[in-house]
Amino acid sequence: MAVKKATVKKKAAPKKKLPAKKAAPKKAVAKKKATSKKATAKKASAKKSPTKKKAAPKKKTVVKKATAKKKASSKKHSTLEAHKRHQKRVSESLLPSERIWLLEVPYELRQHAQYAGARWDPALKRWYYKGSNLPNGLNQYSSQHFSWERWLEDDLNTSDSTEPAPSGVTLRPHQQEAADAIAKAYRAKTPGFLLADDVGLGKTYATLSGINQCGEGLKVLILCPLSVVAHWRRSIATMGANNNRWCVLNYDRVKSLMVAPGAPDDRKQRTRTKNKAHATKGAPLVEWDVVVLDESHKLKNPVSQRTSATRRVSSAGTGAFCVYLSATAGQNPLELSYLAQLLAKATGSRISDLNDFDGWCKDQGFQVKKGGYGQWSWDRNDRDLEVMRSLLFESDKAFAMRRRPQDISGWPELQRVMFPQELDPQEYAAYLKAWEEFREALALDPRGKDSPSALVAALRLRQKASLLRCKQTALLAIDLVEQGLQVAISTQFLETGSMITAELEKARVKVSNINGGLNASVREEQRIEFQQGNRPVVVFTVTEGISLHAGESAVAASDNKRVLLLHDMRWSALDVAQIEGRCHRDGENAAAWYLYAPETVEEKVASAVLHRLEDMGSMLGDDTTGLEAMWDML
């Protein structure tokens, strides 16, 4: 019996479990159905009650606005007012015996500066030291005279620093004429002045003297390429500040003169988006009285961040009086958008009318047209060049000046020499192989000749053609040195410069090298070695910002005559004109030799550049008969 009872229990156990297992899913299904019914009921009630639907966005909008305000207030240092409040707090925290030093610390040396006592201010975004004396370990990072860091440092310490005593400069008559013209334009309350004197006529000292004639207590900003920042600072110290506050800054740092705006809803933005917003919507920290734009042709792209930021800085407050300095203002009318203020004054237009500069050019009758992707192009014609020259230099309302060395009594005209370098059969075969590779790369690229890969292929072709002529250029330089001349060789490629240097050193000719791979102090040491005649040859890749002419008094340069060899012809006529002025300047004559290989792409480049130089000269009112003869010869 006991066994039977146990068997019954065993059979009964599964019977109890089976219904439970089956019941579980039924309950779950019932719950799901109930849930779906509730959801359906909610949807139906939402459809029946439209008033609730309207009320919902109102509540959301209120919440969003409140959140945006909180987020905006959390970005304390994104506004100009917050930035100024922070500066005030820093100034008020100083003890009577203390001061603030703002330091120019390179990125790779930040750990060394921190170990020496420097601290980082996230609001100012600069390294600083607070104390009574600057430690010896931080002296190398102290701010330079007339720098933006020194400007901010003086504001934080509520006192101006001591500037170097001026030694004085005696201007030449043509420089004095330019200085008087700048001062006259300022007093006439014109928007600016264009000084388009040719390279080497002393625009720097003429500009400084003209601004000093405008008065005292002016806030003056000088924007220029990095390579000439030190030259401008030294020139101000020599000329004298005339109780004006000066700041010299390179174009790539112009955005540091503004406080960046915060994102509208504090969301993360791409770096490019932030940079663009900074350039176009940033709040300027200073309302400048005068802004000098050295090598102003660098602003020819109206939509670049550099141009946008420069325009915003110079227009702060009532707008600054702008002095435009460029010996190579532009190659065609479309490249002169940065002179919109002067052109508006000359034509009686409003500045707003020139915001669409390309369209304004079309309205003025210039032969411009809009092509694919919104790009504008200019159909070359002499009438447009003449009209633009007249507007800039001959109009009753024009405030501009252009002189060339030959216009000044006793100053020589630049002599250009076309110098072909023939390739031997082996070298020419190497060139033809490089040409075939270039053609193959162009044919394989379906995007056409202007695609990135095609442009890279073209650059490689030019580089290979350049390398084939290195030995001939070195031999030419050796011959010129033996004649008692000092030779400056301009190359576009570092490899080319290295090969020419190696060939010259084999012949025991001492060579200076100046290129972007060297820091500023080393470049200056190399330049002075050449200038003083210790090294008769210099090989350089930069296009501006260095003086290589004979008799430079600042560095006791030798009086040996110079010759410039353009080993690599640049595509840009602006760059070529700047390179020509490295040796032919300040009344010193230096012939420019254009080196090229006949029956190659280099000959075509030389022809195109000479044509562009001719157009640029015509627009600025130069005599271009010599350029026309050279162009016809090619």
pLDDT above 60 (res 69): no
pLDDT above 80 (res 516): yes
Confidence of residue 624 (pLDDT cuts 50, 70, 90): low
pLDDT above 60 (res 574): yes
- CATH number of the domain that residue 500 is part of: 3.40.50.300
Helix, strand and coil in the chain, % to nearest 5: 55, 15, 30
CA distance 528 to 519: 15
Same domain, 224 and 178: yes
- CATH number of the domain that residue 403 is part of: 3.40.50.10810
Same domain, 553 and 454: no
Query: What pLDDT does 66 receive?
Result: 43
CA distance 368 to 338: 17
Q: Which two tokens stand for residue 391?
A: 């507007």
Q: How many domains does the chain have?
A: 5
Helix 425-444 vs helix 452-468: angle between axes, to the nearest 10 degrees? 180
Same domain, 241 and 181: yes
The helix/strand/coil state of 605 is helix
Same domain, 4 and 122: no
Interval 499-518 mean pLDDT: 92
CA distance 173 to 603: 41
- pLDDT tens digits, one per residue of 448-490: 444 556 666 667 777 787 888 899 899 999 989 988 899 999 9
Q: Are 569 and 324 in contact (CB under 8 A)?
A: no
Interval 409-438 mean pLDDT: 78
Q: Are 520 and 230 in contact (CB under 8 A)?
A: yes
Same domain, 478 and 559: yes
Tell me if 107 is assigned to some domain.
Answer: yes
Same domain, 519 and 372: no
The helix/strand/coil state of 44 is helix
Helix 80-92 vs helix 148-156: angle between axes, to the nearest 10 degrees? 60
Confidence of residue 534 (pLDDT cuts 50, 70, 90): very high
Paired strand residues for 590? 562
Q: Which residue has the higher pLDDT, 423 or 559?
A: 559
Query: What pLDDT does 4 receive?
Result: 44
Pick from 538, 550, 541, 551: nearest CA to 516: 541
The residue range of the domain holding 273 is 173-407
pLDDT above 60 (res 188): yes
Residues present in the chain in total: 634
Interval 39-68 mean pLDDT: 46
- pLDDT tens digits, one per residue of 196-237: 988 778 899 999 999 999 999 999 999 998 878 888 888 898
Query: What pLDDT does 490 receive?
Result: 93
Q: Are 96 and 89 in contact (CB under 8 A)?
A: no
Where do the DSSP E strands lie in 444-519? 486-490, 511-514
pLDDT above 90 (res 514): yes
Same domain, 363 and 451: no
CA distance 327 to 330: 9
Q: Of 27-31, 154-158, 347-351, where does mean pLDDT reach its minimum?
A: 27-31
Q: Which two tokens stand for residue 499?
A: 């090969």
Interval 11-22 mean pLDDT: 46
Query: What pLDDT does 97 receive?
Result: 83
Pick from 524, 509, 520, 566: nearest CA to 541: 566
- Residue corresponding to tokens 């080196």: 595
User: CA 477, 417, 581: angle at the middle one, nearest 5?
Assistant: 80
Query: What pLDDT does 454 receive?
Result: 60
- In 269-323, where does DSSP find H-type helix? 271-281, 305-314
Final residue in a domain of this structure, among 357, 376, 407: 407
Q: Are 255 and 309 in contact (CB under 8 A)?
A: yes
- Taking residue 42's Cβ as centre, other Cβ atoms within 10 Å add up to 10
Q: pLDDT averaged over the chain? A: 79
pLDDT above 80 (res 498): yes
Give the N- to C-terminal CA distance of the chain in Å, as an integer.
Answer: 126
Confidence of residue 10 (pLDDT cuts 50, 70, 90): very low
- In 78-146, where does DSSP find H-type helix? 80-92, 110-115
CA distance 510 to 338: 43
Same domain, 284 and 140: no
What DSSP state is assigned to residue 570? -
Query: What pLDDT does 625 receive?
Result: 52
Query: What pLDDT does 536 receive?
Result: 96
Long-range own/partner contacts, residues 270-277 (CB < 8 A, 24 or more apart): 275/305, 276/305, 276/308
Tell me if 166 is assigned to some domain.
Answer: no
Tell me if 204 is assigned to some domain.
Answer: yes
- pLDDT tens digits, one per residue of 369-390: 887 767 888 888 888 888 888 8
Same domain, 217 and 299: yes
Confidence of residue 581 (pLDDT cuts 50, 70, 90): confident
CA distance 274 to 230: 30
Where do the DSSP E strands lie in 230-330? 245-250, 258-259, 283-284, 290-294, 321-325
Tell me if 57 is assigned to some domain.
Answer: no
pLDDT above 60 (res 46): no
The helix/strand/coil state of 564 is strand
Same domain, 348 and 429: no
CA distance 95 to 370: 62
Q: Which two tokens stand for residue 323?
A: 């002095």
- pLDDT tens digits, one per residue of 142-166: 888 999 999 998 888 877 777 777 7
Write the Ramachandran bin of 403: left for phi over 0, alpha for psi from -120 to 50, otherwise beta. beta
Q: Which two tokens stand for residue 494?
A: 């570092």
Same domain, 441 and 524: no
Same domain, 311 and 193: yes
Confidence of residue 446 (pLDDT cuts 50, 70, 90): very low
Residue 589 has phi, psi (to 5 degrees) of -85, 135
Final residue in a domain of this structure, among 156, 183, 205: 156
Paired strand residues for 369? 377
Q: Of 281-285, 489-493, 614-618, where does mean pLDDT reach its minimum?
A: 614-618
Tell me if 71 is assigned to some domain.
Answer: no
Tell me if 69 is assigned to some domain.
Answer: no
Confidence of residue 519 (pLDDT cuts 50, 70, 90): confident
Q: Which residue has the higher pLDDT, 214 or 407?
A: 214
Query: What pLDDT does 618 receive?
Result: 64
